[in-house]
Amino acid sequence: MKPAFSVIFLTTLIGAAQGLLLAMYTAQFYALFNLLPVQDSQGFYGLGALLVLVLSGLGLIASFFHLGRPERAWRTAAQWRTSWLSREVIVLPAFMGTVFLYGVAHFMDWRPVLFTLPFGLSIDLTLVLGASAAVLALLLFICTGMIYACLPFLREWHSPLTVLNYTLLGSASGFLLAAAFAARNAPALTRFYAIAALVLTLLGLASRIASLYRNSRLRPKSTLQTAIGIKHPRIVQTSVGFLGGSFNTREFFHGRTAEVVRLVKWFFLLGAFALPLLMLMLAIGLQDPTPLWLSSVFVIQYLGLLAERWFFFAQANHPQNLYYQAIN
Amino acid sequence: MTQLALVIDLNVCVGCHACVTSCKQWNTSGSAGPLADLNPYDADPNGTFFNRVQTFEVGQYPNTQTVHFPKSCLHCEDPPCVPVCPTGASYKREQDGIVLVDSDKCIGCKYCSWACPYGVREFDEQRKIMTKCTLCVDRIYDTSRPESERKPACVLSCPTSARLFGDIHDPDSVVSEAIRENAGYQLMPEWGTHPSNHYLPRRKTDLHIHEDELVRIDNPLKVDGLLPKPAKTEPSLDDSTSW
């Protein structure tokens, strides 16, 4: 497949946004049980929610560049019964809306106690809003992953590992951003976030390597024989039917050599995993990792994730390419 | 239920591209809008076609066959492109099974083209929407045309009648009979899409002459009774007989 930059930016930006929200809510939830220190409503949660909104807003803007007719985008909510894309289009604004309310409630310090649990914990509005936003963030990971995982013909994508990768890589990116953000605005949480980002990056590395291993062993289900229905071991295409290009040659071929694709793979393994892991270990070793250091780790990992997404698309080999052998 | 479809006889197709050009002509001048090409008269032209003829060489020299292989939307009975559409622009008609795109609802996200294993959807770069073969839906129901012309443009233009059109759910239709009699098959059956369009394989062309074709049953003058002499049972020239 030809990697579309709109989708690459959409998935990486909203992944980081979802991860950051999950990170913030984790801290608030832990603080409820006195596992982590309570944070400032405005300076941490309010600003953090704003950051989540900015990132997911940028992702949303990027996604519009993928549409031929963006003015009709409102129609996409129609087929949520069958289409994962439609479900994503519903969940993303719902997530952003809930995060907005979560941020406003924190920023205005508007935290009426809604109910009290039997063992004496009082649940306020921000906790309920945060829980809803966290659930929506997880749902959004599933929707985004399933858009690709639900297509059986694209066998490199048709696996639960696709959803797992989207979830883990987005979370790792978000927790890393939370660490950088906390180093400025909530130093007490920096170590917790840095360790969580390290663990999530390690888990992401494991699941990404699992999917790389799976994809390297895939045997194509469709062959030229089944594509044209002629059972002969030697079939050679002599003409694709036209001399110029077409949608078939534009959309389904990345047009790069195998060396470039391999190079991108090593780039993302290094940029999204190896280097951030090393830099995070250094940061955890230090007593006070600077915001600049952690921000650099986030940016490096983000660049690595862009490459990872590019590779994700480029690696998928669409069965329609069988009909365009002469292009390869 | 009706399922309109094409049956393409690979034994007969000569790869002349008449179906490709007639399809382009009909669909670019139809009510649904033109089939726009990218840089048609420039370097690196890009074309939009609903139907294409590709050519494959099967076998090892000298025992090779050149197979011309026309392909357009197969109008699957279980089309994978339809459920993935977020707007419902992509749909399969209840009444005749034709898979269509509502050009007023399509947002041009191209997701349906990813979900089609056959690569038969065409993105229109000018109108920024997805387009595809309509089985000439604007023609086959046009009552202002004589009955014989209510067929897809590609079918009418085929000089060798390699393309048949009809309802594959009707066991007595010409397409059902062709599939049944000539081992019609579907493309990529492994995905369970159940394409409606079928292909008839290459076959050996044998000449069968039956006895009753030589001797007419209704033959008042008994002309067929005048058999060549000497009779078949008699010795032939090689056995040194004389005429």
pLDDT digits (tens, 9 = 90+) for B62-80: 999 999 999 999 999 999 9
What is the signed CA dihedral for B33, B35, B38, B39, rounded to 10 degrees?
-90
**Chain B contact for A239 (CB, 8 A cutoff):** yes
| Structural contact between residues A173 and A302, judged by C-beta atoms closer than 8 angstroms | yes
Mean pLDDT of the B190-211 span: 89
Chain B nearest-CA residue for A70: B107
| pLDDT of A170 over the 70 cut | yes
Pairing of strands A245-246, B63-71: unpaired
Interface test mutation site (partner A, options B85, B92, B105, B121, max chain A beta carbons within 10 A) = B85
**Which residue type is seen at A180?**
A
What pLDDT, on a 0 to 100 scale, did the predictor assign at position B206?
A: 77
Per cent of chain B over pLDDT 70 is 88
B243 pLDDT band, cuts 50/70/90, is very low
At A201, is the pLDDT very low, low, confident or very high (cuts 50, 70, 90)?
Answer: very high
B236 — pLDDT class (breaks 50, 70, 90): low
Q: What percent of chain A has pLDDT above 90?
A: 83
Task: Give per-residue burial for A223-242: e unless 16+ CB within 10 Å, then b.
Answer: ebebbbbbeeeebebebbbb
ipTM score of complex: 0.91
Q: Are strands B4-9 and B198-200 parallel, antiparallel or unpaired?
A: parallel
Q: Do A153 and B86 touch (CB under 8 A)?
A: no
CB contacts < 8 A, A to B, total 176
Confidence grade of residue A34 (pLDDT, cut at 50, 70, 90): confident
Q: What is the pLDDT of residue A328?
A: 46
Q: Do B56 and A244 touch (CB under 8 A)?
A: no
- Contact between residue A171 and residue A142 where contact means Cβ atoms under 8 Å apart: no
Q: Residue B92: beta bridge partners?
A: B99
Domain ranges of chain B: 4-200
Task: Check residues A35 and A197 and name the one with the higher pLDDT.
Answer: A197
pLDDT digits (tens, 9 = 90+) for B3-31: 999 999 999 999 999 999 999 999 999 77
For the segment(s) B4-200, the CATH number from 3.40.50.300, 3.30.230.10, 3.30.70.20, 3.30.450.20 is 3.30.70.20
pLDDT tens digits, B108-140: 999 999 999 999 999 998 899 999 999 999 999
Q: Which of A152, A236, A246 sits opposite B46 (nearest CB)?
A: A246
Q: Work out the average pLDDT over A155-165.
A: 96
The reported pTM is 0.89
Residue of A85, A89, A246 lying closest to B84 (CB–CB) = A85
* CA dihedral of A50, A53, A57, A59, whole degrees rounded to 10: 120
Q: Does A153 touch chain B (CB under 8 A)?
A: yes
Predicted pLDDT at B195: 96
Coil, strand or helix at B96: coil
Contact A67 B83 (CB under 8 A): no
Q: Which of A15, A42, A44, A43 is nearest to A27 (CA)?
A: A44
pLDDT at A174: 97
B-chain residues near A93 (CB < 8 A): none
Q: Which amino acid is at A150?
A: C
- Residue contact B187–A152, C-beta within 8 A: no
**Residue contact A230–B110, C-beta within 8 A:** no
Residue A17 CA to residue A37 CA, distance in Å, equals 23
Q: What is the arithmetic mean of pLDDT over A281-288? A: 86
- In angstroms, the CA A176 to CA A277 distance is 11
Confidence of residue A244 (pLDDT cuts 50, 70, 90): confident
Average pLDDT, chain A: 93
pLDDT the model gives residue B238:
67
More confident residue, A209 or A41: A209
Residue appearing with tokens 């079939």: A235
Cβ-based contacts of B7 with chain A (< 8 Å):
none
Q: Which of A67, A228, A319 sits opposite B69 (nearest CB)?
A: A228
Average pLDDT of chain B is: 89
Domains, chain A, ordered by start: 5-327 (1.20.1630.10)
Dig out the tokens for B95 from the structure. 């009444």
